Amino acid sequence: MRLKLDRFVLSIILVIGLAYFIPQWGTEESAIPINTISAIGISLIFFFYGVKLSPSKLRAGLSNYKLHLLVQASTFLIFPLLILLFRPLIQNEEQETIWLAFFFLAALPSTVSSSVVMVSLAKGNIPSAIFNASISGLIGILITPLWMGLFIDAAETEFNFTEIYVKLIVQIILPVVLGMFLQRYLGDFVQRHSSKLTLFDKSIILLIIYKSFAESFAENLFSSVSILDLLALFGGVLVLFVLVFLITGIMSKLLDFSIEDRITAQFCGTKKSLVHGTVFSKILFGNMAGLGLILLPLMLFHASQIMIISAIASRYARRPNSL
């Protein structure tokens, strides 16, 4: 299997480098209104997400309930429970922050675009992939803050459920609902300009990543993170990915799934959304100084899952008698 570096992953690396060498643009003292730009961008991302959601396709996808339950259980139960197993091993504040970063990764919903693209490449069950990836984002709006609310106080960060859900409603839920309401008018426009909107989504995510890391670099929060620490984090996300991939594969066989359904279960059930992660981090953690460290496992996971799944998808695509 040949691994190749995704261009968006390369862009993330370049943005982190920019934040390291020029952190002043992303600090609170900067004249550039990054918070305002990112807040507007977040709402637009989810507005167009709502436009893309097809109620008819979501209704049609309900029939394959065993597959849907496995994917959502993997996303919101198996991932967090695996990370919870390591909580008793925490011995100091730094380990607490790293564990919280991994738990934040584990509590996030699946990603839509790459899940569907990879399932399509592997010749899996595409309609179910669209359904699960779409519904996961909606479920995550409710479930992710609930999971994080159990432990986020350990990072000495203010966590007010009322304030959190008001922000989620204003910045995410209302734009999604408005987008779905206007789908009949804007659906064709969004389809025609899909590539441009994807570029816009990624630009906003890169902006949020830049600000998060710029603030962390300005506060010297990565001064204690060595190359060995980074390798350990990368090893951790790889182990997490492999465990969930194996578990979803075993469960798929026990449930007697077809090869197409098994591909969808493993591909969608092992994904985590960088879009939701960066957006939720701003809402859940606010302007927390260590936000860059909180996002680090998610970005490592994002890079590794794209490269590994793309290689696995290519192998599945070459299977005999594939549709």
User: Per residue in 122-140, pLDDT tens?
Assistant: 888 877 887 887 788 889 8
Whether 252 maps to a domain, the answer reads: yes
Whether 233 maps to a domain, the answer reads: yes
Looking up residue 227, the CATH number of its domain turns out to be 1.20.1530.20
Q: 21 or 42, which is more confident?
A: 21
User: Per residue in 237-260, pLDDT tens?
Assistant: 999 999 999 999 999 999 999 999
pLDDT interval class at 74 (50, 70, 90): very high
The encoded tokens of residue 174 equal 């209302």
Q: What is the pTM of this model?
A: 0.76
Whether 24 maps to a domain, the answer reads: no
Whether 99 maps to a domain, the answer reads: yes
Cα separation, 168 vs 187, whole angstroms? 24
User: Per residue in 277-302, pLDDT tens?
Assistant: 888 887 787 656 566 778 889 888 88
Whether 109 maps to a domain, the answer reads: yes
Q: 195 or 88, which is more confident?
A: 88
**Structurally, how many domains does the chain consist of?**
1
User: Per residue in 172-203, pLDDT tens?
Assistant: 778 888 988 898 888 888 888 888 888 888 88
Whether 16 maps to a domain, the answer reads: no
Cα separation, 209 vs 282, whole angstroms? 10
Whether 129 maps to a domain, the answer reads: yes
Measuring CA to CA, how many Å separate 43 from each of 109, 187, 248?
Answer: 18, 17, 33
Phi, psi of 207 (to 5 degrees): -65, -45
Q: Is there a contact between 305 and 241 (Cβ–Cβ < 8 Å)? A: yes
DSSP for 220-250, please give it.
TTTTT--HHHHHHHHHHHHHHHHHHHHHHHH
Residue of 103, 169, 118, 180 whose CA lies nearest to 142 = 169
Average pLDDT score over the chain: 82
Q: What is the domain range of residue 125? A: 71-317
Q: Give the percent of the chain with pLDDT over 70.
A: 85
Whether 204 maps to a domain, the answer reads: yes
pLDDT confidence of residue 29: 74
